Amino acid sequence: MTSLISVVLAVTPTPDPDFDPNTVTPGVVGFLAIFFVAVATVLLCLDVVRRIRRTTYRAEIKERLDAELAARDADPDAPKDDKRE
């Protein structure tokens, strides 16, 4: 383990004295990479919201249909549908 640390320390170059770490930027490539990640994230979020809405609407419609069937079955004067039984 000590030999690995000494190798890493020996290989590490000394920084250039004219190098200013405050002026280093990722450049256009870094901007484009982050931009595409942000666009992909927004599109995924929109897709998830759409799928959740669709599932919620389907559950609401199923509850309404079940309530209508229960109300129809509870009413003795309602005409019975022969196809259902």
What is the reported pLDDT for 85? 46
Q: Does 24 fall in a domain?
A: no
Q: Does 68 fall in a domain?
A: yes
* Alpha helices for the chain (secondary structure H): 2-11, 27-74
Q: Does 83 fall in a domain?
A: no
**Residue 47 and residue 31: Cα distance in Å, rounded?**
24
Domain range for 67: 45-73
Q: Does 8 fall in a domain?
A: no
Q: Does 62 fall in a domain?
A: yes
Q: Does 49 fall in a domain?
A: yes
For the chain (85 residues), the mean pLDDT of every run of 10, in chain order, is 74 74 85 97 98 95 93 76 54
What is the reported pLDDT for 24? 80
User: Domain total for the chain?
Assistant: 1
Q: pTM for the full model?
A: 0.54
What is the reported pLDDT for 83? 57
Q: Does 64 fall in a domain?
A: yes
